[in-house]
Amino acid sequence: MRRSLALAAAMALALLATACARYDTPDGSMLGTTSGLSWNIPIGAQPSGPPSVPPPPGMMPGTSQVPPKPVPIVQGWYHGTAKVILSQSNAAADCTNVSVDAFQVVGRWASFLDYSGNIALDGSVTMRSGGGVIVGRFVGPTFQGRLWHGMPTQPSCTWALALQASSS
């Protein structure tokens, strides 16, 4: 019984689909049934393919997108301070202000002790080591950033880094 109902529904749908047609009139395209219509179909070139869509801005033919110009990074050693800005009560003894003198930049690669990372074109860097992360940005001969040490969701110590490139 279900099968015959499904078959009847499919046949009805097929008949309905063949009874509807798209046709062109002088006033534009129309939808309708084929019964009782007399069609005058003009013979000639019909447009084919999808309508042309203009390219997005900046991608016009004959132009090219220019990648962002990299921020210049001063090569060499950076020195400065790491000041404690957050310490958990159980780690207060480990969180002290320190002098930083082992921060190095070679090419677009920065390293500090066991931390290292690639410097992005905009001057930003993320450096990881064990349970710690350094995130910051180079601007000219300076580096400003943060160092988190401990669990990523609850660091035991957080320092603000303020470093300056030096010639030594």
Average pLDDT over residues 41-52: 55
Domain boundaries, the chain: 2-33, 76-165
Please state, rounded to an integer, the average pLDDT across all residues of the chain: 74
Average pLDDT over residues 1-7: 54
Residue 36: strand, helix, or coil: coil
What pLDDT sits at residue 23? 47
* pLDDT digits 0-9 by tens, 63-113: 566 667 888 889 999 999 999 998 876 655 668 899 999 899 999 999 999
Q: How many residues does the chain have?
A: 168
Distances in Å between the Cα of 71 and the Cα atoms of 74, 95, 122, 124 are: 10, 33, 5, 9
What pLDDT sits at residue 97? 92
